[in-house]
A and B are shown apart, each in its own frame.
Chain A
Amino acid sequence: MTLQDHITRRFSEANRYQFGLLAILFVSLSTLPLWAPITGFGGLIYPLALANIWAIFAMGWDIISGYTGYISFGHSALSGAAAYATAMLATHLELPLAATFPLSVVAALIVGMLFALPSLRLRGPYFSLLTLVGALLFYRLLFVFNEYTGGELGMSVEAITYDTTVLYYYTFVPMVFIALGLLYVSRSNVGVVLVAIRENEPAVESAGIDTTKFKLWAFTLSAVTMGVGGVMLAHFYGSVDPTTMVILDRSIEMIVMAVIGGMSSILGPIGGAYVFILLRDTILPGTLGLGGTQRWFALWAVALGLIVFAREGVFRKLWHGLGEQGSENESETE
């Protein structure tokens, strides 16, 4: 059995074109710090290091919202909880990373459960709006308890490193492992049940499957992912504050990434995160020279256009395009 067979059997029924695309992307991204400075793309290392963290968020959102159709508008509260837990434990209790990291993931999990337990009784827009309210509430509380959270200015955290190459691998490697883990779950029977919940929850229930249990597991997985990402983001910037971590816009960004990449595909949201972060931090401000407000206006306008005209997701379209390509060629050779 070749490596390709092994991987495709495990994760999907990819043909050689799709597999080739994945392989090329993986190799070029995993060697980015080696070739980027030589070819003049050195400026991409830092934004892509950040994009890796956002890819984690987008995947974390996708495993609950993309798969089950329970659209959360409050996921920035989960990553924000982990980031703030890291900052508060490090500042007030002076704990080392070995302690703050697991505790912060637990913090994200707790907030996630606070969201999930009441929310999962509700369907459709009610669920979405309750998560939106949850994120707003979390944002407000940061200001109410400003003596612990540092209010608007936030708090400082130890930065991981100032070497962009090291920084890149610090974000890239966990991102890959999380992607593999979530892909494994989503391609297993669990993923099938989650998608079935999205399509027709009463039918799944009448088949004797406890949907609440599956939704809770998906939420747990999502919250842990968000927690890991939140800790990474805190150490990436070396600071946490309400605007970069928790504000509603951050939740919207995660959703936009997942949707433009292609919901319920795990890999799509990674692509969405890369496109979005490059657009936000490199292409719009750098290449097109748009500043401040104009940049955000252009960004949201592009996002709206992509969401309306490529509802399935840009990367899903690409993927299926390659899939059709493969099947045509195969039928020719037969």
Chain B
Amino acid sequence: MVDLLSILITGAMVSAVYALIAIGFTMIFGVGGVLNLAHGGLLMIGAYVFLAATSRIPPVVAFVASVGVAAVVSYAMYLGLIRYIEKDVVITFLATLLIALLFQELVTMTFSAQPRSLATLVPGTVQIAGTRIRYNQIFGFVVSWVAIGALWYYVTRTGSGRAILATSMSERGAMLTGVDISRVRAETWLIAGALAGVGGVFLGSLQTTSPFMWLDPLALAFIIVVIGGVGSIKGSIVGAYLIGYLETLTVSLAGNGVRGVFALVVVALIILFRPQGLYGREFIE
């Protein structure tokens, strides 16, 4: 029973971070039709900015800084490159993947390929029902949910947020109601970048921080989005919890070596039998 409880708790913590990562990924796809394969790279940038900044400034300030940098990099990526090529799906796809590889090499050059450990935002541990949990995990859980809540509030209750939601539902419809599509897209990249920054810092401190840390979360984000349905925030949260628990269960039963393998199998099955995801719509060209 203790084991099960421990799985429940650890799974809940990590799933919240996954949800955050997946939401940024799905937002960009929903609004612009762009699959941003550099999303994992933005996570990595968040984690490494945090690593570099914590040697000089307190962790909380460094956290804000890394979220800011990830958001700005994402925004600059859109304005500097993606908006010129986004009509060509294949080129955009490939370009974002190459950008992720460029980030990887840039980080390797600056910080070496060795995995690093991040400073903890909130040090200490606590026992909950016999399971030792780091405050950092709890903090990650809380911050992720606050961010998700804030995003939900923004896109459903405020004017400029609802423009994002409208654009993801029907671009033509949004345009007819006077929404400035290009502004909405740029804003979405900014928000997604910020979410990636938050996710990166927590993922980096809960798992590993290395120049290769972009790939697994990217695959996870995609898997979650496919399970939940493209463009659906609710779907992303459900998908994240499904995958988060599945992964925690796999790792605790079969060890770290098979991390992710079952998640990949599950997504292959879901994509086969329900291509539109749990809450989403099928991609139609």
Q: List chain A positions with a Cβ less than 8 A from chain B.
A: 69, 71, 73, 118, 121-126, 128-130, 132-134, 136-137, 140-141, 143-144, 248-249, 252, 255-256, 259, 263, 293-294, 296-297, 300-301, 303-304, 307-308, 311
Contacts and interface: CB of A to CB of B under 8 A. Distances in A.
Contacts of B257: 143-144
Given A293-B105, A296-B105, 7 more contacts: A129-B222, A144-B258, A144-B261, A256-B94, A259-B91, A304-B99, A307-B94
Interface residues of B, number: 41
A300 B102 contact: yes
B186 interface: no
Contact of A118 (B88, B89, B93, B272): B272
B101 A133 contact: no
A124 B285 contact: yes
B281 to A, nearest CB: 12
Interface in B251-275: 257-258, 260-261, 264-265, 267-268, 271-272, 275
Contacts of B97: 73, 252
B101 A126 contact: no
A303 B98 contact: yes
B226 A126 contact: yes
Contact of B271 (A122, A124, A255, A293): A122
A136 B91 CA distance: 21
B283 A125 contact: yes
A252 B100 CA distance: 12
Contact of A308 (B81, B93, B101, B102): B81
A237 B108 CA distance: 27
Interface of B: 29, 35, 81, 84-85, 88-91, 93-95, 97-99, 101-102, 105-106, 108-109, 113, 215, 219, 222-223, 226, 257-258, 260-261, 264-265, 267-268, 271-272, 275, 283-285
A137 B261 contact: yes
Nearest to B225: A129
A224 B159 CA distance: 54
Given A143-B257, A144-B258, A129 B95 contact: no
A79 B132 CA distance: 45
B9 to A, nearest CB: 26
A255 B283 contact: no
A137 B265 contact: yes
Contacts of B91: 259, 307-308, 311
A132 B221 CA distance: 13
B101 A300 contact: yes
Nearest to B284: A123
Contact of A121 (B94, B109, B275): B275
A129 B105 contact: no
Contacts of B283: 122-126
Contacts of A133: 219, 222-223, 264, 267-268
A296 B89 contact: no
Contacts of A301: 102
Given A124-B283, A126-B226, A308-B81, A259 B94 contact: yes
* From A134, A263, A297, residue with most partner B Cβ within 10 Å: A297
